[in-house]
């Protein structure tokens, strides 16, 4: 019986090997293709990462080189020649150029550039909000007091990334409108906010003291 069992096992094993060989001949290309796709995909991802890192490095180096110019007009010209690798980096570049244009005494061009970025629907919301905030705080802004108030109130909604900075601007608008009590109330509420930064806390406290108010105990 043992010889018979051994013979049966050998035959079974041979059948298994034959079936495996047939399957490999029929479907082995799929396994080879899967390996090639895996290796190729990994190589492509690494190449893409390296290319993006190189682009970012080149972009950053070009900005630093442009900012080394002594005159603001030269910095604007140099920055304006830089090709940004992405829409987001182009938005950052435009905001840098706007800052240099303002330093060069061309605040109107700075405001126009910021407004163009703020209304670019292809950009993520955070970039548009930052550009809009900068445009609204420019002295060349054509918007009225009430229009600026409405814009900053939209930025001051809970969860908005520029909420606290918008609250500060709303307090300044209230001061400009002569509503000192409302400004003091808003500034004290700002001081009680758990997300308040050290710089904003210092500015709010200084404003309260300058307005003759008292800092409420939190």
Chain segment 2-32, per-residue pLDDT in tens? 555 554 555 456 556 656 566 556 655 555 6
The per-residue pLDDT for range 104-124, each reduced to its tens digit, is: 888 888 988 998 999 898 888
Residue 44 confidence class, pLDDT cut points 50, 70, 90: low
Sketch the domain layout of the chain as residue ranges.
Answer: 1-68, 70-142, 146-218
Question: How confident is the model at residue 58, as a pLDDT?
Answer: 85
Question: Is the CB of residue 88 less than 8 Å from the CB of residue 72?
Answer: no
Question: How confident is the model at residue 1, as a pLDDT?
Answer: 47
The per-residue pLDDT for range 158-170, each reduced to its tens digit, is: 888 899 999 999 9
What is the sign of the dihedral through the CA atoms of 175, 181, 187 and 189?
negative
pLDDT above 70 covers a percentage of the chain that reads 78
Query: What is the model's pTM?
Result: 0.68
Q: Higher confidence at residue 214 or residue 207?
A: 207
As a whole number of Å, the end-to-end CA separation of the chain is 93
Which is nearest to 112 in space by CA: 127, 134, 86? 134
Question: How confident is the model at residue 48, as a pLDDT?
Answer: 67
The per-residue pLDDT for range 45-103, each reduced to its tens digit, is: 776 677 767 777 888 888 889 889 989 899 999 989 988 888 888 898 899 899 989 88
Question: Is the CB of residue 130 less than 8 Å from the CB of residue 95?
Answer: yes
Question: How confident is the model at residue 31, as a pLDDT?
Answer: 58
Residue with tokens 């390996």: 35
Residue 138 confidence class, pLDDT cut points 50, 70, 90: confident
Which is nearest to 90 in space by CA: 64, 128, 48, 144? 128
């Amino acid at each position: 019986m043992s010889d018979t069992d051994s013979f049966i096992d050998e035959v079974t094993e041979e059948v298994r090997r034959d079936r495996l060989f047939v399957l490999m001949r029929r479907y082995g290309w799929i396994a080879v293709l899967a390996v090639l796709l895996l290796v190729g995909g990994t190589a492509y991802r690494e190449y893409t990462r390296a290319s993006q890192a190189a682009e970012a490095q080149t972009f950053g180096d070009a900005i630093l080189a442009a900012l080394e110019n002594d005159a603001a007009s030269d910095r604007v010209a140099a920055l304006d020649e830089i090709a940004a690798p992405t829409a987001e980096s182009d938005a950052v570049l435009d905001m840098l150029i706007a800052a240099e244009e303002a330093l060069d005494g061309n605040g109107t061009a700075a405001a126009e550039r910021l407004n163009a970025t703020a209304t670019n629907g292809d950009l993520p919301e955070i970039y548009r909000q930052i550009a809009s905030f900068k445009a609204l705080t420019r002295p060349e802004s054509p918007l009225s007091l009430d229009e600026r108030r409405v814009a900053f109130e939209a930025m001051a909604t809970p969860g908005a990334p520029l909420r606290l900075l918008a609250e500060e601007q709303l307090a300044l608008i209230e001061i400009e409108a002569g509503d000192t009590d409302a400004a003091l109330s808003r500034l004290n509420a700002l001081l009680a906010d758990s997300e308040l930064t050290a710089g904003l806390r210092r500015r709010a406290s200084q404003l309260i003291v300058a307005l003759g108010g008292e800092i409420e105990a939190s």
